[in-house]
Structure 1
Amino acid sequence: MQQASSHLADRISLISVSSTARVSAEAEKLRRAGVDVVDFGVGEPDFPTPDNIKRAAIAALDQNFTRYTAMPGVQELRQAVVDRHKADYGTSYSVPECVVSVGGKHAIFNMTQALVGDGDEVIIPIPYWVTYYDVVNYAGGKPVLVETSEAEGFALTAAQVEKAITPKTRLMIVNSPCNPSGALVEQAEFEKIAHLAKKRGIWLMTDECYCRFLYDSDPYSVASVPGMKDTVIVAGSLSKTYAMTGWRIGFTLAPAEVCTAIIKLQSHSTSNPTSIAQKGAIEALNGPQDSVDVMLAEYRKRRDYVIGRLRAIPGITCAEPRGAFYAYPNISGALSPNGLRTPMEFAEKLLAEAHVAAVPGEAFGTEKHVRISYATSMENIQKGLDRLESFVKKYSA
C-alpha cells in the first residue's frame, strides 16, 4: 500500500513559531527543572481577572450556557463591544459591523485572510509585533517594513508610510501603543495616516490591544475620525484590558461586508468563541471599569522604575514607552564582535546564565534591542534587573 507523503504543505513554511512563545517555553523548561527564572518575556498582565467577570462565567456554567452560539458571538456581546467602543472612543459601529473571535490574534489572522491576496503589499512599521509578519506571509501577501526612528520614540509618521506606498499596497497595520516598544502615534499624526489610507484606497488596520494603557494621553481610536469607517478596521482584545488572556476573546470592528467575510472564514475554523468566556466578556465590557485604572497606575510605577534602572546600566539606552507594558532597550553598547554579538545571543545567554527571560529584537525586526515586559511584580522586576545589570557588566568587563 502506498504511504502518504511526509512532506508538509508549502504554506506552513511561510510562518515560524512565535518568538515570544518560544522564549516562554524555554523559561518554563528551566522552571520545571527547579531554576528560579525571572520572566520578562511574557506579554500578559500579572493581575487576576476581576471577580465580577469570573462570577459571570460561573453563572453561565450554572445556567448551562455551554452549547454552540452564533458564529460571530452572541448578540448581547457584540452589542456590548460596540457600546464600549463608543463610550471609550466616540465611534458609531452597529452589531453587523462587529465579529467576536477567539482572541485578538485570531481577529488579526481572520482579517488578513479575508483581505490580503497573493502579491498584495502590507505596510508594517518596525519594530513590529511578531505575528503581523507571519500572518501576512501566510495570506500570500508581501510585508513592506517601514523603519521608525528610535530617537523619536519609534512613533510612526504619515510621511514614513507615504514613502512605502506602491500600486500593490493593500493594507497598513498600525499598533498604537506598540508591542514591543510602547511607542504611541499621536492623534493628529494618526489622523494624517488615516486620511492618507483613504485617499490611496488602502485598508488601515488599527490594533487596539493596549489602547486603554496610555501614560500621558487619553485613549483614542482612529476609527472615530469622521468618514473613516469604510477604510479602518479595528482589531481589539479583552486580554490585556481586563486581564483575560486565557479567556481568548477578541473582536473586529469593520464594514459589514468585511465582517460577513470574516464570519464565513470563522464558520469553517473555530466556529463560535467559547460560550462561557462570552458571558464573562459581556460583564467585562458592561460592568465597572475601575480595574483598568488600577492596573494602569501600577504599570506606570513599574515603567518609571524599569526605565530608570535600564538607563543606569552602562551600554544600555532606552526610549520611554508611552503605553502598553514593555520596555525596548537598545543593548548595542553591550554587544561586541568578541562577546555577545547579537540580541539573540544576548537573550539566550541571559536566560541560560542569569535566568532572566527576554525576547530578542530580531523577533520584532531590529538588531540592537531586547523586549522586556514589566507585567510582573516589583519584586520580580527588581530581582531581574539586578541580574541583568550583573550580566551586562560581566560581558562588558
Structure 2
Amino acid sequence: MKVAADATRLRAEGVDVVDFGAGEPDFPTPDNIKQAAIRAIEQNFTKYTPAGGTAELKKAVCERHAQDFGTSYSPAECLITVGGKHVIFNLIQALINPGDEVVIPVPYWVTYKDVVNYAGGTCVFVDTDEQKGFTLTSAMVEPYLTARTKIVIINSPSNPSGAVMDRGEFEKIFQLTRDRGIYLLTDECYCKFLYDSEPFSIASLPGAKETVLVAGSLSKTYAMTGWRIGFGLVPKPIVEAMNKLQSHSTSNPASISQKAAVEALRGPQDSVPLMLAEYRKRRDFVVQRLRAIPGVVCQEPRGAFYAYPNLGVVIGKNGILDTVQLCDRLLAESHVAVVPGEAFGTDRHVRLSYATSMHELERGLDRLHQFVVKNS
C-alpha cells in the first residue's frame, strides 16, 4: 500500500510513473457482474444482510467450488467476508491464542505475519529454495511441526513468487497436518491463474473438511478487487466463531457487492481464461526481459501475476543497503514502482506485478534495466 501511495503522490506531481506495485488485475469487472450490481441498486437491495452474507451468495459459493474442484460444502460451512484478507484475519483471530504457532512458507504474503502477531500467535517461517522456484515440500514443513502448531498456511499459486504446490506434495502436507490435528489453511486467491497445471483444491480430498480451511476471494478471478467479497469454507463451529467476530466488527459485506458476486459465480466464466491467456503472454515477456538484465536472476512464475526477481546484484552498492532502499531509489530516480522483498520475508528480491499493459511493461523494464546497470 505504501508503494501505491508513493506512486500516486508522484503522479499527482506530474511524474510519469510506471507502476508494477499493484496486486490487482488491470482488466475491468465483466459487464454482466456490473449489471447485476446496477439491478440490485434499482431494486433497492441496499439494506443490511445477515452479517455472514446472504443465503443466496453462500449457496453460489458452495456450488461454484463444487463445480470447479469437486468439493461438497454446505452454506452452513460458508462465511462471506469483506474480501479475502478479511477471511484470513477472521480465521486467525478465531483460532489462534497466545503461544500457538502458525507455520508460514517464505516468501509469504505480507498479511499472514501481521495477523498472526496481532492474535498473539508465533510465526514459524519455513524457507524455500529459490533455485527450485520457491516450491514447498512436505519434507521442508515436517521439522517445524510441534505440539504448539495450530495452523499451516499454504498460498498456491503464491503471492509474491508465483510458485505452485506440486499436488503430491500438497497431499503429503495435508496428511501430516491431519494426522497431528493441525489446521491447513489454503489461500486460494489465485487458484484460477495457473500456467501449466489444472486448478486444484486440497479441500477436495476425502476427509479434508475437518481440518482444511479454505480462504477464497472473487477479487482476482473476476477483476473485483474494489467490490470486497471473500469467502471462507470451514467447519461449521469455526464459521459460527468467525461470524460472531464479524458481526461486531464490519457486519455484513456490502449488499450490492453480494448480488454482483452471485452473478460472478453463476454467470459466464469466459473472462477468466481470457485474462489467464493475457497474463501468460505478459509473464513470458517479463521473465525473458528480466533475465536479459546483467546479474538479475528470475524464476519463472507458474501461477498468479507476479515476477519475483533477485536484484541482489545492486544490494550493497551505491548506498543501496536493502530492497526497501532499492525500491525507494528506483521510484525516485527511474520512476518505477515495485514492492520490496522485505515485505515478503526475503532480502534480495522485489515483487513486480505484470497486471498491466505490454506498453507499460516495456517502458518499466527498460527503466529497471538502466537502473540496475547504473548501480551494479
**1:258 is the counterpart of 2:238:** yes
Aligned to 1:55: 35
Kindly tell me the number of residue pairs found equivalent between the two proteins: 376
Of 127, 137, 160, 1:147 maps to 127
Q: Is the contact made by 2:216 and 2:231 (CA closer than 8 Å) also made in structure 1?
A: yes
Aligned to 1:305: 285
**1:363 is the counterpart of 2:321:** no
Deviation at 1:340, TM superposition (A): 2.3
Name the CA distance, whole Å, in 1 between partners of 2:202 and 2:125.
Answer: 21
Q: Is the contact made by 2:312 and 2:348 (CA closer than 8 Å) also made in structure 1?
A: yes
Q: How many percent identity over aligned positions? A: 65
Letter in 2 for 1:230: E
Name the CA distance, whole Å, in 2 between partners of 1:202 and 1:353.
Answer: 47
Q: Unpaired segments of 5 or more residues in structure 1?
A: 1-20
Q: Is the contact made by 2:317 and 2:375 (CA closer than 8 Å) also made in structure 1?
A: no
Q: CA RMSD in A?
A: 0.7
Q: Is the contact made by 1:316 and 1:334 (CA closer than 8 Å) also made in structure 2?
A: no
Name the CA distance, whole Å, in 2 between partners of 1:25 and 1:332.
Answer: 25
Of 299, 302, 321, 2:301 maps to 321
**1:244 is the counterpart of 2:224:** yes
Letter in 1 for 2:277: A
Under a length normalisation based on structure 2, what TM-score does the superposition of the two structures give? 0.99
Aligned to 1:283: 263
1:1-397 equivalence runs, <5 A? 21-396=1-376
Q: Deviations over 1:288-337 (max 9, x none)?
A: 00100000000000000000000010010001100000000011123234
Name the CA distance, whole Å, in 1 between partners of 2:301 and 2:124.
Answer: 24
Q: Unpaired segments of 5 or more residues in structure 2?
A: none
Q: Is the contact made by 1:235 and 1:251 (CA closer than 8 Å) also made in structure 2?
A: yes
Letter in 2 for 1:209: C
Q: Is the contact made by 2:318 and 2:375 (CA closer than 8 Å) also made in structure 1?
A: no
Following TM superposition, the consecutive aligned residue runs of length 4 or more in structure 1 with deviations greater than 4 angstroms are: none
Deviation at 1:62, TM superposition (A): 0.2
Q: Is the contact made by 1:123 and 1:146 (CA closer than 8 Å) also made in structure 2?
A: yes
Name the CA distance, whole Å, in 1 between partners of 2:190 and 2:305.
Answer: 9
Aligned to 1:6: none
Deviation at 1:339, TM superposition (A): 4.2
Q: Secondary structure at the match of 1:229?
A: helix
Q: Is the contact made by 1:102 and 1:250 (CA closer than 8 Å) also made in structure 2?
A: yes
Q: Is the contact made by 2:17 and 2:337 (CA closer than 8 Å) also made in structure 1?
A: yes
Aligned to 1:12: none
Letter in 1 for 2:145: I
Q: Deviations over 1:12-63 (max 9, x none)?
A: xxxxxxxxx1111111110111111111011000000000000000000000
Deviation at 1:338, TM superposition (A): 4.5
